[in-house]
Chains A and B, each alone.
Chain A
Amino acid sequence: EAGVTQSPTHLIKTRGQQATLRCSPISGHTSVYWYQQALGLGLQFLLWYDEGEERNRGNFPPRFSGRQFPNYSSELNVNALELEDSALYLCASSLAGGPVADTQYFGPGTRLTVL
């Protein structure tokens, strides 16, 4: 069974540009989570999508946005890129979010570098 996949592996942008990151969950998983992992820092929760709806959002500015498609894949958009947006962006999926303690399974990440 295929795991969570993310594309691209690496992405290099300049300040002010927009970045789009993509994630395909494990087959059968309906919840998708996005995290930012900056160098030397832990995981910071960005967004949670379930059944096509945004269910929760972390403490990030509105220029971080995303969506979930009918096939449960998801994309993360970062507008007006800033140098401090350089980080590893991780996507995870689970069978269901909410009170059921389903395990989140992670993709390999997209390394975003902003120059």
Chain B
Amino acid sequence: AQSVAQPEDQVNVAEGNPLTVKCTYSVSGNPYLFWYVQYPNRGLQFLLKYITGDNLVKGSYGFEAEFNKSQTSFHLKKPSALVSDSALYFCAVRDMDSNYQLIWGAGTKLIIKP
């Protein structure tokens, strides 16, 4: 079965420092991977996705993610964190076995301290 894991419930980063939010996946074929962000009491906002091609994917708000096939990872990164980046981040993988639904990670709470 396809799955996605976000090993950290919470990540704390000082403003201005680089940030990484981790995501690993397990799929039987080629993965389709997504990152979303959720601000308090709001819906999810799409950040970026990997379908094929360049392993480094650039997305909204200065975020990027690196696809690593050998490590089955798709970590979200940003070179310099902002306090406004504080939110809940979700990684998702397309499930090619279950009618192509998105399988979601549990989410990682990112806290950026001034």
Contact = CB atoms under 8 A, between A and B. Distances in A.
Interface of A: 4, 6, 41-43, 45, 48, 55-56, 88, 90, 92, 97-99, 101, 103-109, 111
B43 A90 contact: yes
B contact residues, range:
20 to 34
A99 B34 CA distance: 15
Nearest to B52: A101
Contact of B44 (A56, A90, A98): A90
A42 B105 contact: yes
B99 A48 contact: yes
Given A41-B106, A45-B104, A98-B100, 19 more contacts: A6-B43, A42-B90, A42-B104, A42-B106, A43-B104, A45-B101, A56-B99, A56-B101, A90-B44, A97-B100, A99-B100, A106-B36, A106-B44, A106-B45, A106-B46, A107-B43, A108-B42, A108-B43, A109-B41
A10 to B, nearest CB: 10
Q: Which 7 A-B pairs rank lowest in CB-CB distance, beginning with the nearest?
A: A106-B43, A101-B32, A56-B99, A106-B44, A42-B106, A43-B104, A108-B43
A45 B102 contact: yes
A111 B40 CA distance: 12
Nearest to A108: B43
The binding surface of chain B is classed by DSSP as loop
A88 B101 CA distance: 20
Highest count of chain A CB atoms <10 Å: which of B34, B51, B102, B105: B102
13 contacts: A6-B43, A41-B106, A45-B101, A56-B101, A88-B41, A92-B44, A98-B99, A103-B46, A103-B49, A104-B102, A106-B44, A108-B42, A108-B43
Contacts of A97: 100
